[in-house]
Amino acid sequence: QVQLVESGGGLVQAGGSLRLSCAASGRTFNNIAMAWFRQAPGKEREFVAAISWGGVLLYYADSVKGRFTISRDNANKTAYLQMNNLKPEDTAVYYCAAGLRGTSKSDRFYDYWGQGTQVTVSS
């Protein structure tokens, strides 16, 4: 079992930056793929970024490529999402996810989810 707690969300102006953190607990962090998804009001949850347990595989949604960076610190059981040049359309609740079935853009590969953190980008 893995418990995930996100932090770092908030209100920022367009063009600004935020860094989200996802702290994991409950079992070893190794061999677990991590990902970030987001859900805007009235929209379905969508994939943002994913990273393999060794950090070799990195996946990004086209909408965030070049602006967002996913990383992880296995020693501290934490994953991060650095978000730069934020846009109003990035406004959403951001969820951290973890899974043991490989790194994927599909939410079906992730069995553990955090409670979400709100990111609001003003224009």
Tens-binned pLDDT, residue by residue, of the chain (123 aa): 899 999 999 999 999 999 999 999 987 777 899 999 999 999 999 999 999 999 999 999 999 999 999 999 999 999 999 999 999 999 999 999 999 999 999 999 999 999 999 999 999
Query: Which of left, alpha, beta for 80 (phi over 0: left; psi -120 to 50: alpha)?
Result: beta
pLDDT at 30: 77
How many Cα neighbours within 13 Å face the side chain of 99?
A: 17
pLDDT at 17: 98
- Name residue 106's amino acid: S
Other CB atoms within 10 Å distance of the CB of residue 35: 27
Q: How far apart are CA 45 and CA 49, in angstroms?
A: 13
- Name residue 51's amino acid: I
